[in-house]
Structure 1
């Protein structure tokens, strides 16, 4: 991403200035400078940084909190140990096997990052509402407050989706509070978005790239409605359709002509498909996209001439049962996964160097189980562009919301309400994946109602030994379509819960471990620091 005009030093200073509001209050504040927030004289030049600073938790490292909790707990990507490690005390297996607890690192990061974002939003809103930071104009002030409230609603959506209950705090007060119910948080999110979205900017891309505009706000609201039955027990399918229709009919958004376009290092900022993203750039000084460092084999340094080698034999890789669901001719398989023989930048064969030294480096799709693999087993991350000469991370952005999702949400809601037209919408999304044979892109409403093609069951020594629950998945083909389009993007957990398979099905080395696993526990450190909080049930 190359067009955000806020300089990295301004962002850094803003984050440092605001981060104190997210610290624990069990220690007395130590002031190391004569300049504090109370003595600093804000000017209109602080207006934009005040907004951008509230995005800091989103712009940071995305892997250990959001990404791992959403993908490693699902049926598409696994992270088994191998000869080079990748066990780390079992922290990845706990996610895959649904054995996490309130002290799990990734769960703690997921909670902390989103509540830090909420605190930053509360502080930024307070500065604008009380004219502590002067706005260039009343209109820009109103627009900025609307954007910050929408961003805060996004953070609360992450809490509602992942934890259910949690403290609902919308002021700068540091007083300890009890947790609110999932219903109360849901109601807050919906009310906030319905109120502020009409006031958001309609500009798509350009200077608002990486920030929430009207179309991103409506996509968040559509997502909340899409999952309303999970959150509250009451379905809101038609409300989701209404939001999707507004986005579709605006003419502001569109599918990129090429599937890979939203995941490239250049050009995505002008995309009509990318609605909200994590904008990474080396020159902005913000940690980049290092999924490839986690997933790739170290020898791939020679293929892309990266400054640093990827992490040993690599970690995250495709679950065979999911890879086998791809249809013949679907280019999203090769566009999302690195597979087969691997060569260096000059076209020379690469070879194994760990437990298969000297053997041609070939990424195979079959995993023996979810516990241990050799250095070549499993397809690797191939979705996000990694330019030649990349450092320890790539500056390809990570889209959080795409226009393809809007079409898919509407299609699913049409199916669930018995209305026609779902097949036509999903066909639009599929067309760029079947350019060699356009007839294969077409899918009908009836086909989307069929069972999933996922071969569920517990895998041992490459074979399914226990099929587990084989109940047909309602609208299972629609479930498959979500997985094919959004592999690696952090959608798997939420989609699995909505389609009723997250806590009921077996895959790889995962067996069902209780319906209560549909939400994560409140981190133990948070419970300890706030005696008013009660842990989520069964944790």
Structure 2
């Protein structure tokens, strides 16, 4: 990161998607980051593109390149989010059996040598130093809209730290102030990392732009992340902050300018960049930001030409890996017949032909229903199938904010109203064609189920189950939990992933999480 290679006008911005580099282009100039910005302050656009792209792409030189030493196809940030948030939870399972992937999909035998834990940990600690380096340079260089740019970089660093807090519960606190330190830094606790991210997001709340280019952070995005931090605060720190979560999620709802998309499927289609609901996307494009780790993983991984028509979903490749379990589609009906007759549009985003309702063997493709929620085809126009996906990943969207508001109210947060909470939930359900509910129906169990119906496969499920105290133990079982067909109780150890062995060896100040 001390030098930046600037390739011939190959820095593309977010209106047309992330930055990429032609594999056959030779570098024309090589400058330090500070020199580059001094000569051309507008180059900040391309540099920021690289930071945003670090959450979805593997590297700058196409899908086979990697910014870190891990596998380019397996290790991208978004792919890690899906692996660790969805396959470890109830609704989605993977059948490939790659070394370490079976342990995720069966929530069993986790250890520090599992490469999938290392991938997410390494991606976070790739993005964080990049942000630190840029912040250090920006302190002495003028660029257009400098205050807003600095705030965006601090948001991206906070987002990376959020996943460390959520998944690993500890780490090392790296900032621009300790760049170049020659000795291993001390371990920071979950509380310390929480405090840092909270302070960062509060500091930039009013310096982030009110509106921004599509795919870049604005005030609503920062407030959404802060709300996520607060709604999980009781898990992370032992101190509930539901009132604080409600305060900021209300700002997202009332001041963000977003509206529910009238067409649920549009949010997950190839032209979803026009959806009025998406608050913060991770951008994908089949031509200029190819990756095996963005929504290509969700689309292609859920398709198989043996039982499905790939072109119907805008794809040319089907990897035959991901299927939902009855813990997801069972939320719409207790049998295949009930699922088929449900008035809820979300109930019909599964491929059922040739597949069984019960997942008696998670390794068999025909066991369980593949999800067709994400597809690469356009919703409003025709499109040609491609090998890679052009569907953006909606990391944050308004329906999630509505359901978060309702949860905070039910949990006793101050400043909200039960009638408003019911209204928000009913707006989400009415959009999907589901029946409306009354105040008496709005319980925590109902909210968890509704979050499953609405948000499954969007990278929230494990965190949700832990917050609702349904992930570990035996009070809630799902297929293959604890590596058992009908589910088994698992230890509270599994509320955190183990710190990767590679990280422990690199920094003797790090300690392993309890139970591993």
Shift of 1:286: 3.1
1:485-515 alpha-carbon deviations (Å, 9 max, x no partner)? 0021111100000000101232212123311
Q: Distance in 1 between matches of 2:218 and 2:469?
A: 32
Q: Distance in 2 between matches of 1:380 and 1:277?
A: 23
Shift of 1:120: 1.2
Matches within 5 A, 1:249-328: 249-250=254-255, 252-266=257-271, 268-287=272-291, 288-290=294-296, 291-299=298-306, 300=308, 303-304=311-312, 308-311=316-319, 314-326=320-332, 328=342
Choose the corresponding residue for 1:58, options 55, 64, 78. 55
Shift of 1:389: 4.2
Choose the corresponding residue for 1:332, options 336, 346, 362. 346
Residues 249 and 36 of structure 1, relative CA distance in 2, 3 Å threshold = closer
Q: Distance in 2 between matches of 1:35 and 1:251?
A: 40
Q: Secondary structure at the match of 1:78?
A: strand
1:237 matches 2:250: no
Q: Distance in 1 between matches of 2:109 and 2:440?
A: 37
Q: Secondary structure at the match of 1:199?
A: coil
Choose the corresponding residue for 1:182, options 168, 187, 190. 190
Q: Distance in 1 between matches of 2:111 and 2:494?
A: 10
Residues 183 and 251 of structure 1, relative CA distance in 2, 3 Å threshold = closer
Q: Secondary structure at the match of 1:317?
A: strand
Q: Distance in 2 between matches of 1:218 and 1:154?
A: 12
Contact 2:290–2:388 under 8 Å retained in 1: no
- Structure-2 residue corresponding to 1:348: none
Q: Distance in 2 between matches of 1:493 and 1:4?
A: 30
Choose the corresponding residue for 1:145, options 146, 150, 163. 150
- Structure-2 residue corresponding to 1:531: 508
Contact 2:359–2:367 under 8 Å retained in 1: yes
Q: Secondary structure at the match of 1:88?
A: coil
Matches within 5 A, 1:489-500: 489-500=458-469
1:401 matches 2:409: no
Q: Distance in 1 between matches of 2:467 and 2:154?
A: 26
Q: Distance in 2 between matches of 1:228 and 1:244?
A: 14
- Structure-2 residue corresponding to 1:344: none
Q: Distance in 1 between matches of 2:455 and 2:46?
A: 32
The structure with the larger Rg is 1
Shift of 1:304: 3.8
Matches within 5 A, 1:410-425: 410-417=405-412, 420-421=418-419, 422-425=421-424
Q: Distance in 2 between matches of 1:6 and 1:532?
A: 43
Q: Distance in 1 between matches of 2:129 and 2:273?
A: 28
Q: Distance in 2 between matches of 1:39 and 1:430?
A: 51
Q: Secondary structure at the match of 1:427?
A: helix
Matches within 5 A, 1:430-449: 430-434=429-433, 440-449=434-443
Shift of 1:40: 4.8
Residues 305 and 389 of structure 1, relative CA distance in 2, 3 Å threshold = farther
Q: Secondary structure at the match of 1:363?
A: coil
Q: Secondary structure at the match of 2:279?
A: strand
Choose the corresponding residue for 2:171, options 166, 170, 174. 166
1:376 matches 2:366: yes
Residues 108 and 95 of structure 1, relative CA distance in 2, 3 Å threshold = farther
- Structure-1 residue corresponding to 2:64: none
Shift of 1:160: 0.5
Residues 41 and 369 of structure 1, relative CA distance in 2, 3 Å threshold = closer
Shift of 1:3: 8.0
- Structure-2 residue corresponding to 1:202: 210
Contact 2:198–2:229 under 8 Å retained in 1: yes
Q: Distance in 2 between matches of 1:427 and 1:476?
A: 16
Q: Secondary structure at the match of 2:32?
A: coil
Q: Secondary structure at the match of 1:400?
A: strand
Shift of 1:270: 3.5
Q: Secondary structure at the match of 1:75?
A: coil
1:480 matches 2:449: yes
* Cα RMSD for the two superposed structures: 2.6
- Structure-2 residue corresponding to 1:37: 32
Shift of 1:416: 0.6
Residues 34 and 428 of structure 1, relative CA distance in 2, 3 Å threshold = closer
Shift of 1:36: 5.0
1:69 matches 2:76: no
Contact 1:503–1:513 under 8 Å retained in 2: yes
Residues 229 and 167 of structure 1, relative CA distance in 2, 3 Å threshold = same
Shift of 1:62: 4.8
Q: Distance in 2 between matches of 1:200 and 1:88?
A: 41
Contact 1:101–1:521 under 8 Å retained in 2: yes
Q: Secondary structure at the match of 1:430?
A: helix
Residues 46 and 500 of structure 1, relative CA distance in 2, 3 Å threshold = same
Q: Which structure 1 segments of 5+ residues have no match?
A: 17-31, 81-85, 341-361, 435-439, 450-474
1:96 matches 2:94: no
1:389-441 alpha-carbon deviations (Å, 9 max, x no partner)? 4333221111100011111111000001075232222111111111xxxxx53
Q: Distance in 1 between matches of 2:441 and 2:457?
A: 25
